[in-house]
Chain A
Amino acid sequence: MNKEIIKCRRTDDSCVHVKHKSGLDIYICKMEGFSTIEALFGTKYGSINTMFKTSEDKEYTTVPEGIAHFLEHKLFENEDCDVFELYAKTGANANAFTSFDKTCYIFSCSKNYAESLKILLDFVQKPYFTKESVDKEQGIIGQEIRMCDDNPEWRVFFNLLGCLYENHPVKIDIAGTVESIAKIDADLLYKCYNTFYNLNNMVLSIAGNIDVDDVLKICDECLVPCENKGLETVFKEEPDKLVSSYHVENQPVGKPLFNIGYKCTSGTLAENNRASSELYIAAGVLLDSSSPLYRKLLSDGLINADFGFECFYGDGYSTLIISGESSEPEKVRDAVSEAFENAKANGINKEDFERVKKSAYGSMIRELNNVEAVANLMINSSMEGVGPYDAVEILSDMTVQDAVSRLQKDIRADRMALSVVREQVTDK
């Protein structure tokens, strides 16, 4: 088995990558001095993958919204017992999550990692769905959906995506709706499982207090080789323009919440990754807590410490999202837009750019000193088709011109939307 050692030449960090004979990509990072182990076994299957086919299918299959998340819940039950009961015997803390483009099964522990790893690899490869167990889960997930509906941060975010995207399923809630999950049955779950839970479409990432060879030995024992079935996922064509530039939802909230979003050009995942690095630094110069705009918005009482921004991207979508709390989010939007247009026309200050780069470099060093963050970094980068330490290199090589060009390419006032959640104003 060929063990590829991947090194970060600027920090001396390293990890091992193995393309396992089963088809699985395995990333292992031994971290000296740490007690814990974090393992993620993930598939490139999330809420956006609602239309797909393999080389065995003639036609594309379309499945109900929320099925990837439903499948994640159901995989925790195997034929004999609940998977949590198995982990209970090792002491590991087990969990899972479904995002827009991936589903990951996780455990963290400080003892008995070999046993926990065997449980992880075993249960994810052994689906067991019945009508009864599917019906039972409708109630639990129904409550999860309702809980999210009461989360104003969640609502303001999805309302923004609804403004930005007309066709791309990123606009759909990860858990689907009570109505959409009612259409899910055991056969559909098996169809999705057999399509996406193919080891050629999956990644194992494990970091912390482990032994590389022991991990690989367990993988040899537990992984069942898969034939690559040429999975294709597709999305309806997405226009450049917005659906809407403004959306307000009323909820019981103390302070109005806002998300300002720019719909950016989307390329391959690796291209989106690089573009986001450039955009994040450029946005940092204009919006972070050392920027003149931040100071002005703060002094004018338009934002508070919750103000922030992120690049949110994936397969077929790429955005810059600025979020916070404000009584006058429209004024924040206008000020942000003006700052971006000004930077596109006049560039950004080199000293500010270097300062933001240094700050981002510091964040990356911190990330590499955290077991959970390293395990997540390895699986995320692998699924995006880049190396785990590429971000450090991209950052080091980035120039002011790269950042300004990115602003000029991706930031357009006519592709900016504002989403607000505020308390309903009633006339007295």
Chain B
Amino acid sequence: MTYNRSEISDSIGFSEIIDCKFKTNLLKINFITELTADTAAENAVAAGILATSNSNFKTFTELNAKLAALYGSAIYAEAKKRGDVQILSLCASWLDNRYALENEDITAEMLELFSDCIFSPNAKNDAFDTDSFNIRKKDVLDKIDSEINNKRSYAISQASKIAYSGEPAEFSCYGEKETAMRVTEKSSFEAYKKLLANARIEILFVTAQHNADVAEKLSGSFSSLVRNEINKCALTSQSAIKDEIAEVTQQLDVNQSKMVMVFKSLSDDYTALKLLSTVYGETPFSKLFANVREKLSLCYYCASNYVKSKNTMFVDCGVEKDNIDKARTEIINQLDEIKNGNFSDEDIENTLMSIQNSLSAIGDVPSSYTGWYFGRFCEGDCRTPDEVFSDYKAVTRERIMNAAASMKLDTVYVMAQKEVQD
């Protein structure tokens, strides 16, 4: 594998990752911008429209027919958030030319198609085409509406809103329904132009062999953009710890209650904080799994997740309403156990092996490379998984205990089974 990053301009990066084992290519363009209540929805709609049509393939159907004929190639958009930042991604994936049955130049065709989606969208008079716009606006509205369908992720999202209240991270990457309703063909086109002009842009290309055409084409197109002052987004930002724990219970007509506990830390020993979370609740041999699930049989899942971009740790579980207090007590108790050093060297060694196993797997699917190197860009370096693992190995038991001691409970969100009224 070889990794090369170059800069098209001081705010546009292009990385080529060459790995000959792959039969496919993946090109991902990330637009990094601030997450705000006013702009999140129109940005999400704008990015979505770009993957729907372009000036040559004016409908979703026409574009998809072309993609299907190119051996099921794909062009798609993603909206995500990372801390206080919104990340809009446009992705293209296609088969390597070696697998074309009729000697088609799939790469050249996809590059043209994808480039048109970004630089020659289906728009006129500074407004997106109404059909394409309507499809994507409906998708974004439906995504906002459907958030409640997945009760586990909905509970985490509700807890985030409370934990990050007053910070950009409280907003969904799709925005709120009211603002999404107000997005128009013109406002989303304006958002698209702002993304091209103001967003930090990071491009990643995973391929089996070096292809100068891709870099050349994108470099030419992106360097000709008129760029304004670039959004200075903080990719990591400390979330303030509340003076009093925020406790919110929402009654819903569900069979199982969910509880999300949000802990925050002011420590900057991020590696130890991540290791703490892994020992605590990120593996099937972690403290939460072994005790809350296996020993006390309270939950099917009870897990932790450390979010470095906000220096926050989430613990979530699905539990009977009557057992919520019991689960909460044990979750706190297990964190105290780590704080007090009641864990073995073997726990640390096993956790390190698990982390090493995950890090070594990076590179086995193209998206793991784009995820890793985009993550490194956000961290401000381009270290390899092996280099990052050496940081974990250097963490001592005391640092894990200190990391546990630094965690303060900030928010508890409970989705409770609704009382049945006689």
Chain A positions within 8 Å of B, measured between CB atoms, are 11, 31-36, 82, 84-85, 87-95, 108-111, 136-141, 143-144, 146-147, 149-153, 208, 251-255, 257, 288-292, 294-295, 298-299, 301, 304-306, 325, 355-356, 358-363, 365-366, 368-371
Partner-contacting stretch, out of B4-12, B60-68, B160-168, B260-268: B60-68
Contact partner of A143 (CB less than 8 A), chosen from B71, B319, B364, is B319
Knowing A88-B285, A362-B95 touch, does A288 contact B68 (C-beta < 8 A)? yes
B254 CB-CB contact with A under 8 Å: yes
B131 CB-CB contact with A under 8 Å: yes
Chain A CB within 10 Å, residue with most, of B134, B151, B293: B151
A288 with B139: CB separation less than 8 A: no
B71 with A365: CB separation less than 8 A: yes
Determine the chain B residues whose CB is within 8 A of the CB of A370 once the complex forms.
364-365
Residue of A nearest to B94 (CB): A362
Determine the chain A residues whose CB is within 8 A of the CB of B92 once the complex forms.
none
A325 to B147, CA, bound (A): 12
Residue of B nearest to A144 (CB): B300
Residue of B nearest to A250 (CB): B253
Contact partner of A252 (CB less than 8 A), chosen from B72, B148, B297, B363, is B148
CB distance from A87 to the nearest CB of B (A): 8
Residue of A nearest to B68 (CB): A359
B23 with A369: CB separation less than 8 A: yes
B19 with A298: CB separation less than 8 A: no
B319 with A253: CB separation less than 8 A: no
Within 8 A of A (CB), among B257-278: none
Residue of A nearest to B360 (CB): A110
Determine the chain A residues whose CB is within 8 A of the CB of B226 once the complex forms.
none
How many residue pairs at the A-B interface have CB separations less than 8 Å? 190
Contact partner of A288 (CB less than 8 A), chosen from B64, B256, B289, is B64
Contact partner of B357 (CB less than 8 A), chosen from A92, A147, A295, is A92
Contact with A along B269-305 (1 / 0, CB 8 A): 0000000000000011100011001100111110000
Contact partner of A289 (CB less than 8 A), chosen from B61, B298, B301, is B61
A109 with B357: CB separation less than 8 A: yes
CB distance from A360 to the nearest CB of B (A): 7
25 contacts across the A-B interface (CB closer than 8 A): A32-B21, A34-B21, A35-B360, A35-B361, A82-B294, A88-B283, A88-B353, A89-B350, A89-B353, A91-B350, A147-B301, A150-B255, A150-B256, A252-B252, A254-B142, A290-B62, A290-B67, A290-B68, A295-B60, A358-B69, A358-B70, A361-B101, A362-B73, A363-B72, A365-B24
B181 CB-CB contact with A under 8 Å: no
Determine the chain A residues whose CB is within 8 A of the CB of B255 once the complex forms.
146-147, 149-150
A109 to B358, CA, bound (A): 8
Known: A140-B293, A361-B71, A365-B99. 5 other contacts (CB 8 A): A87-B284, A110-B360, A147-B256, A150-B255, A290-B67
Determine the chain B residues whose CB is within 8 A of the CB of A82 once the complex forms.
285, 290, 294
B72 with A84: CB separation less than 8 A: no
A295 to B57, CA, bound (A): 14
Contact partner of A359 (CB less than 8 A), chosen from B62, B72, B294, is B72
Knowing A89-B350, A110-B361, A362-B72 touch, does A254 contact B146 (C-beta < 8 A)? yes
A325 with B142: CB separation less than 8 A: yes
Knowing A88-B353, A146-B318, A295-B61 touch, does A35 contact B364 (C-beta < 8 A)? yes
B379 CB-CB contact with A under 8 Å: no
Determine the chain A residues whose CB is within 8 A of the CB of B68 once the complex forms.
288-290, 355-356, 358-359
Determine the chain B residues whose CB is within 8 A of the CB of A292 once the complex forms.
61
A139 to B292, CA, bound (A): 12
Determine the chain B residues whose CB is within 8 A of the CB of A208 once the complex forms.
364
Knowing A151-B151, A253-B146, A254-B148 touch, does A84 contact B285 (C-beta < 8 A)? yes
A34 to B22, CA, bound (A): 10
B108 CB-CB contact with A under 8 Å: no
Chain A CB within 10 Å, residue with most, of B67, B300, B365: B300
Determine the chain B residues whose CB is within 8 A of the CB of A368 once the complex forms.
23
Chain B positions within 8 Å of A, measured between CB atoms, are 19-24, 59-62, 64-65, 67-73, 95, 99, 101, 131, 134-135, 138-139, 142, 144-152, 252-256, 283-285, 289-290, 293-294, 297-301, 318-320, 350, 353-354, 356-358, 360-361, 363-365
Residue of B nearest to A86 (CB): B285
B21 with A355: CB separation less than 8 A: no
A291 to B14, CA, bound (A): 35
Residue of A nearest to B69 (CB): A355
Determine the chain A residues whose CB is within 8 A of the CB of B151 once the complex forms.
147, 150-151
CB distance from A308 to the nearest CB of B (A): 13
Contact partner of A88 (CB less than 8 A), chosen from B145, B350, B363, is B350
Knowing A35-B360, A149-B255, A289-B61 touch, does A90 contact B353 (C-beta < 8 A)? yes
Contact partner of B149 (CB less than 8 A), chosen from A137, A253, A290, is A253
Determine the chain B residues whose CB is within 8 A of the CB of A141 once the complex forms.
300
B284 with A84: CB separation less than 8 A: yes
A334 to B83, CA, bound (A): 44
Contact partner of A291 (CB less than 8 A), chosen from B61, B145, B290, B365, is B61
A254 with B145: CB separation less than 8 A: yes
A139 with B256: CB separation less than 8 A: no
Determine the chain B residues whose CB is within 8 A of the CB of A253 once the complex forms.
146, 148-149
CB distance from B363 to the nearest CB of A (A): 6
CB distance from A64 to the nearest CB of B (A): 19
Knowing A88-B350, A254-B148, A295-B61 touch, does A36 contact B256 (C-beta < 8 A)? no
Determine the chain B residues whose CB is within 8 A of the CB of A108 once the complex forms.
361
A88 with B146: CB separation less than 8 A: no
CB distance from B195 to the nearest CB of A (A): 21
A255 with B142: CB separation less than 8 A: yes
A139 to B68, CA, bound (A): 47
A84 to B254, CA, bound (A): 31
B149 with A147: CB separation less than 8 A: no
Determine the chain A residues whose CB is within 8 A of the CB of B64 once the complex forms.
288-290
A290 with B65: CB separation less than 8 A: yes
A368 to B135, CA, bound (A): 33
CB distance from A14 to the nearest CB of B (A): 15
A325 with B357: CB separation less than 8 A: no
Determine the chain A residues whose CB is within 8 A of the CB of B354 once the complex forms.
88, 91, 93
Residue of A nearest to B318 (CB): A147
CB distance from A305 to the nearest CB of B (A): 5
A298 to B360, CA, bound (A): 42
